[in-house]
Chains A and B, each alone.
Chain A
Amino acid sequence: MLETTPTEQAMTQSELVRAIQTSTEAVFSTMMDLQVTAGEVFVEKEEAVPASGVVSIVGLAGSWLGSGSLSCTAKCACKMASHFLMTEYEAVTEDVLDSVAEITNMIIGNVKTQLEEKLGPMGLSTPTIIYGRNFQTRGARNQEWTVVPFMLGEDRICVQICLVPNPDAGRREARSAFPIPHVQNFS
């Protein structure tokens, strides 16, 4: 049984997970002709752990604030980009990073559309992408992330979302700081 999250006031945890699963599966099958298999969902509090690979983050802002991210290994990022652009990539290039960023944008954008029915309109930031080895990510606040792992063949991809009510909702200048996800360690 999953722990509760702040979004539970407006939507159930299972609705959020279902939105992530359907969006991720649709983007992989439609844009890459790839099938992903959803794994066991978990809720995680942030803690900084060294990570490697590719992380793409998109911010959400409206009456709720948050971020969504996709993280995977460099090898998996190359595989995704190869199918996305129909060109073989064996190393992480600009094209690979741009592809992962756009794939994340589509997944989180489609989750956002589903969430907006209950949480109201939200804006979507342009993606930020991080690629490297032994880096750490840490948000400024203690927040919970709903993490949905997927298997793409032997590769693991994590799609995670953190959403909290915006205390400044309704004010002219709403808060716009996006939380940063704890990144799963792929090394």
Chain B
Amino acid sequence: MDVLIVDDSAAIRKILQRVLRQAEIPLGAVYEAGDGAEALEILKSQTVGLVLSDINMPNMDGLEFLTRVRADQAWAKLPILMVSTEGAHAKVLEAVERGASGYVRKPFTAEQIKEKLVGLI
């Protein structure tokens, strides 16, 4: 399965890649994007089976990215796990209402990510 990681921090993208490789899931290519706009371009050109996305990012944030993805029928069922420092209940609820498949708050453990992935893929 090809995966897209969306976060403006290269460090977090590296950490999430490591967590994905440790998780016992069939992992193919891992694409990286620094914001929602970049991520949309990758989704248009690649077949991705899972997205992990931050919320607070420049240019296009994770919530706007979610809205645009869900507006396209082709990506209606694409699993999107939000991984963000935003922990307020209202923000989590907003992400879910916009179509997030799951939510993990930073800081996270590898186990928390793996548990969420098991339920998504």
Contact = CB atoms under 8 A, between A and B. Distances in A.
A126 B85 contact: no
Interface in B4-33: 8-12, 14-15, 18
Interface string A109-137: 11011001000010010100000000000
Contacts, number: 60
Contacts of B56: 105, 109, 124, 126
Secondary structure class of chain B's binding surface, majority of residues: loop
Contacts of B8: 126
Contacts of A99: 11
B10 A113 contact: no
A109 B106 contact: yes
Given A30-B107, A126-B57, A110 B15 contact: no
**How many residues of B sit at the interface, in one of the four size bands?**
20 to 34
A27 B12 CA distance: 13
B75 interface: no
B20 to A, nearest CB: 14
Nearest to B108: A30
A106 B15 CA distance: 14
Contacts of B14: 85, 95
A41 B58 CA distance: 33
**How many residues of A sit at the interface, in one of the four size bands?**
20 to 34
A74 interface: no
A158 interface: no
A84 B11 CA distance: 8
Contact of B109 (A30, A81, A84): A30
A26 B18 contact: no
B75 to A, nearest CB: 26
Interface in A25-57: 26-27, 30-31
A60 B83 CA distance: 20
B74 interface: no
Contacts of B85: 105-106, 109-110, 112-113, 124
B87 A110 contact: yes
Contacts of A106: 85, 106-107
A2 interface: no
The 7 closest A-B pairs by CB, nearest first: A109-B85, A113-B87, A30-B107, A102-B9, A99-B11, A98-B11, A31-B107
Interface of A: 26-27, 30-31, 81, 84-86, 94-95, 98-99, 101-102, 105-106, 109-110, 112-113, 116, 121, 124, 126
